[in-house]
Structure 1
């Protein structure tokens, strides 16, 4: 009887351990997302069972006004690399919640580069300066049905403007905010 109970406990432990090892982010997932400030195409590639590397190409929306008279609206190309740690996958599975499409809570380090390009027209006396930002971010991603997703995140970090010749910039370093709310389609 003791031997049977021991074998049953060991088998249960091995089974539970094996199930936890199968809990993982997806090997690779592709999608598009849009929010009130742009549109992006993304890929997430599995690095470990709980870490994925997200890469994005997109267009960030920008608006500004000179002397509050005429507003200018432009799109800025964005290149984003973001390692994400999905820290609650085991908890979601234990509560019978979905983790497909990397649905879960995450902590990331979002690195965004805006090259010196503008899609749209700006006055000839203005010059867009390229920048980079590195922002630690907390966020969530959830599924709506089989292919639709929504995602939100918030973070505060560091930004840097790349100074150009003959351009005066008072401060090339700045505080950067990542506040996003997106809806998307996963392929």
Structure 2
């Protein structure tokens, strides 16, 4: 009995010490789209459960109009974002043998986004002021079946700061913002560890 117990303990220790826990992917390259834009992003592994996402794309917005049929429409403005993401349940999903490829897990993040005043697609003479936002968010990311297609949703409340002095205004302005996103995407390139 002692030999069986000793062998079991040694086997468990060996398995724990030498098993390779996957955690987040070392590098992911994604193309995502949603109701309000399109984005290209890369996630780079920092630790077993933290990845840094860098992203560039277009956020959509609605201009003009009123309830009586005024001129309104949709426009696209460039956005650059940086997000450290903590996939807090990726280890738990892995131990339960759930699919964690392409970082399929729940996450907390703080999205840092910059909307530059470069150009606007969709409406002449429309200007988007230089602005920066800081939005803590909770989200979920999952693969669709066993493919490289994925969906992602998240929600957060944060702060947006407008750089208005450069446009001749006396003061800069800021506001509290709600961020709700729903995206579908495809992972083009996946580099494993």
The two structures have a TM-score, normalised by structure 2, of: 0.87
Partner of 1:155: 156
Q: Write out aligned runs for 1:1-187 (5 A).
A: 1-19=1-19, 21-65=20-64, 69-117=70-118, 118-123=120-125, 127-144=127-144, 145-163=146-164, 164-167=166-169, 172-187=173-188
- Secondary structure at the residue paired with 1:102? coil
Question: C-alpha separation between the residues in 2 aligned to 1:128 and 1:153?
Answer: 24
What's the CA shift string for 1:83-125, capped at 9, x where partnerless? 00011112111221111101101111111100013223244xx
Question: C-alpha separation between the residues in 2 aligned to 1:127 and 1:146?
Answer: 40
> How far off its partner does 1:67 sit?
5.3
What RMSD in Å do the two structures reach over aligned CA positions? 1.9
Distance 1:134 1:71, change over 3 A: same
> How far off its partner does 1:66 sit?
5.1
Moved over 4 A (4+): none
Question: C-alpha separation between the residues in 2 aligned to 1:67 and 1:43?
Answer: 39
> How far off its partner does 1:175 sit?
0.6
Equivalenced residue count is 183
5+ residue gaps in structure 1?
none
Q: Is the 8 A contact 2:77 2:128 kept in 1?
A: no
Question: C-alpha separation between the residues in 2 aligned to 1:17 and 1:23?
Answer: 14
> How far off its partner does 1:17 sit?
4.7
Q: Is the 8 A contact 1:72 1:122 kept in 2?
A: no
Question: C-alpha separation between the residues in 2 aligned to 1:17 and 1:150?
Answer: 34
What's the CA shift string for 1:1-50, capped at 9, x where partnerless? 4244124213213313543x523111101010000000001100001111
Distance 1:105 1:174, change over 3 A: same
Q: Is the 8 A contact 1:23 1:89 kept in 2?
A: no
> How far off its partner does 1:168 sit?
5.7
Question: C-alpha separation between the residues in 2 aligned to 1:99 and 1:12?
Answer: 24
Question: C-alpha separation between the residues in 1 aligned to 2:17 and 2:153?
Answer: 32
5+ residue gaps in structure 2?
189-193
Distance 1:99 1:80, change over 3 A: same
